């Protein structure tokens, strides 16, 4: 038995006992979603579930019936997607880039819910996204540029 959900606007299936992060990368060809800790701490695997940012390593297939998942591959289809991508590039927000898809999906979810979020809200929203390179300053500058 498999579960049907919507992935970037198209139907997809997943086994109920599988984690979304693994299936995205191994079976569905969406390798933009990264895997780091696999315990919901690093944020590398962030996707949007019905528009809200969630760690896909913690999402089981059985939780996805009929729900809409958006991955980094569909960022530019989101209202804030192009603006966000441009702002992060202009601020050289990332170095190695491993955290970038997760950060971008967190911010895409945040900006669609709270377009006028303040700086403290930006920092709070990104608490679940770990970056080993930047010290977060460039990421926060990019996020603020996208918001402003």
**Cα 106 off chain centre by:** 5
CA distance 71 to 83: 17
Location of structure tokens 């006992």: 17
DSSP state of 129: -
Strand partners, 5: 12
> Terminal CA-to-CA distance of the chain, rounded, Å?
46
Please identify which residue in 31, 38, 68, 73 interacts with ligand FES, judged by CB under 6 A: 38
Give the residue closest to ligand FES by C-beta: 57
Q: Helices (H), strands (E): how many in the chain?
A: 5, 5
Please identify which residue in 18, 28, 35, 122 interacts with ligand FES, judged by CB under 6 A: 35
Please identify which residue in 9, 26, 27, 37 interacts with ligand FES, judged by CB under 6 A: 37
Minimum CB–partner distance for residue 90 and ligand FES (Å): 27
Minimum CB–partner distance for residue 20 and ligand FES (Å): 10
DSSP state of 6: E
Contact map string, positions 3 to 32, toward ligand FES, x by CB under 6 A: ------------------x-----------
Please give the residues from 45 up to 84 whose contact with ligand FES meets the rule CB under 6 A: 45, 55, 57
Applying CB under 6 A, the residues found at the interface with ligand FES are 21, 35-38, 40-45, 55, 57
């Amino acid at each position: 038995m498999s579960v049907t959900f919507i992935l970037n606007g198209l139907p997809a299936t997943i086994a109920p006992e599988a984690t979304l992060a693994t299936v995205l990368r191994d079976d569905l060809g969406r390798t933009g979603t990264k895997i780091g800790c696999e315990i919901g701490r690093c944020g590398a695997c962030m996707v949007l579930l019905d528009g809200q940012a969630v760690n896909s390593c913690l999402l089981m297939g059985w939780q996805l019936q009929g729900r809409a998942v958006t991955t980094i591959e569909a960022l530019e289809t989101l209202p804030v997607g192009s603006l966000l991508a441009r702002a992060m590039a202009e601020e050289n927000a990332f170095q190695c880039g491993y955290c970038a898809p997760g950060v971008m999906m967190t911010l895409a979810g945040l900006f669609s819910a709270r377009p006028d979020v303040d700086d403290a809200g930006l920092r709070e929203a990104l608490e679940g996204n770990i970056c080993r390179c930047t010290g977060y300053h460039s990421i926060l500058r990019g996020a603020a540029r996208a918001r402003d």
